[in-house]
Amino acid sequence: MLQEKVSAVTDGCMSRVQDASQPDLLSEEPRLDLSTAPTIPSASEPNQNIENIKVVLHERELWKKFHEAGTEMIITKAGRRMFPSYKNLTGMNPKTKYILLIDVVAADDHRYKFCDNKWMVAGKAEPAMPGRLYVHPDSPAAGAHWMRQLVSFQKLKLTNNHLDPFGHIILNSMHKYQPRLHIVKADENNAFGSKNTAYCTHVFQETAFISVTSYQNHKITQLKIENNPFAKGFRGSEEGDPRVSRLQGKEYPGMSKNSVRQRLISSHSHLAGKLAGGVLTGHPQVLSSYQYEAGVPSANPDSQDPISSHFPPSRDPGLLYHCFKHRDNSRHLDLGCKRSYLETSSAVSEEHYFRSAPSYESSLLSRSYRNEAFSARDACMYGGMETESGSGAGDLSDVNNSSAINCNMWATMQPYARYTVEGVPYQPFTAHYASTATVTPVVPHPASTMAPRPQSDLGVYNSASVQRGLPVIPPPSSSSSCSPATLASRDRSDLPALYQSKPGSPLRPFSAYPPQGPVRDPSLQYQVGLNSTGTHWTDS
| Residues 215, 62: Cα–Cα separation, whole Å | 18
Rounded least distance, CB 313 to DNA, Å: 19
Count CB neighbours of 77 within 10 A. 13
Rule CB under 7 A: say whether 324 interacts with DNA.
no
| Residues 345, 347: Cα–Cα separation, whole Å | 5
152, 173, 397, 505: which one contacts DNA (CB under 7 A)? 173
8, 26, 27, 77: which one contacts DNA (CB under 7 A)? 77
3, 116, 152, 215: which one contacts DNA (CB under 7 A)? 215
Rule CB under 7 A: say whether 225 interacts with DNA.
yes
SS3 of residue 89 by DSSP: strand
| Residues 365, 358: Cα–Cα separation, whole Å | 13
Task: Tell me whether residue 54 or residue 261 sits nearer to DNA (CB atom).
Answer: 261
161, 189, 259, 397: which one contacts DNA (CB under 7 A)? 161
232, 283, 331, 352: which one contacts DNA (CB under 7 A)? 232
- b/e for 462-473, b at 16 or more Cβ within 10 A? bbbbbbbbbbbb
Query: How far apart, in Å, are the Cα atoms of 314 and each of 110, 125, 413, 423?
Result: 8, 12, 21, 13
Rounded least distance, CB 19 to DNA, Å: 38
Rounded least distance, CB 267 to DNA, Å: 7
Rule CB under 7 A: say whether 233 interacts with DNA.
yes
Task: Tell me whether residue 125 or residue 528 sits nearer to DNA (CB atom).
Answer: 125
Rule CB under 7 A: say whether 228 interacts with DNA.
yes
Instruction: Say which residues have a Cβ less than 8 Å from residue 424's Cβ, sequence separation at least 6.
Output: 303, 304, 305, 308, 320, 473, 475, 476
Rounded least distance, CB 340 to DNA, Å: 6
| Residues 508, 505: Cα–Cα separation, whole Å | 7
CA dihedral (44, 462, 176, 430) positive or negative:
positive
Element containing residue 109 per DSSP (H, E): strand 97-115
Rounded least distance, CB 242 to DNA, Å: 8
Rule CB under 7 A: say whether 283 interacts with DNA.
no
CA dihedral (483, 488, 493, 497) positive or negative:
positive
Count residues near DNA (CB under 7 A): 38
Count CB neighbours of 460 within 10 A. 24
Residue 18's nearest CA partner among 375, 348, 446 is: 446
340, 346, 349, 540: which one contacts DNA (CB under 7 A)? 340
Rounded least distance, CB 349 to DNA, Å: 22
Rule CB under 7 A: say whether 261 interacts with DNA.
no
| Residues 388, 394: Cα–Cα separation, whole Å | 15
Region from 31-39, 78-86, 313-321, 524-532 binding DNA, contact rule CB under 7 A? 78-86
| Residues 504, 120: Cα–Cα separation, whole Å | 51
Rule CB under 7 A: say whether 246 interacts with DNA.
yes
Rounded least distance, CB 319 to DNA, Å: 27
Task: Tell me whether residue 113 or residue 315 sits nearer to DNA (CB atom).
Answer: 113
Rule CB under 7 A: say whether 381 interacts with DNA.
no
Rounded least distance, CB 280 to DNA, Å: 10
Rounded least distance, CB 247 to DNA, Å: 7
Rounded least distance, CB 266 to DNA, Å: 12
Rule CB under 7 A: say whether 405 interacts with DNA.
no
**What is the phi/psi pair of residue 354, to 5°?**
-65, -40
Task: Tell me whether residue 250 or residue 285 sits nearer to DNA (CB atom).
Answer: 250
Instruction: Say which residues have a Cβ less than 8 Å from residue 396's Cβ, sequence separation at least 6.
Output: 411, 489, 490, 492, 493, 500
Instruction: Say which residues have a Cβ less than 8 Å from residue 58's Cβ, sequence separation at least 6.
Output: 84, 85, 87, 88, 89, 150, 152, 457, 458
13, 122, 466, 495: which one contacts DNA (CB under 7 A)? 122
Q: Which residues bind DNA (CB under 7 A)?
A: 74, 76-77, 80-81, 83, 113-114, 122, 155, 160-161, 173-174, 212-216, 221, 224-225, 228-234, 243, 246, 249-250, 264, 268, 337-338, 340
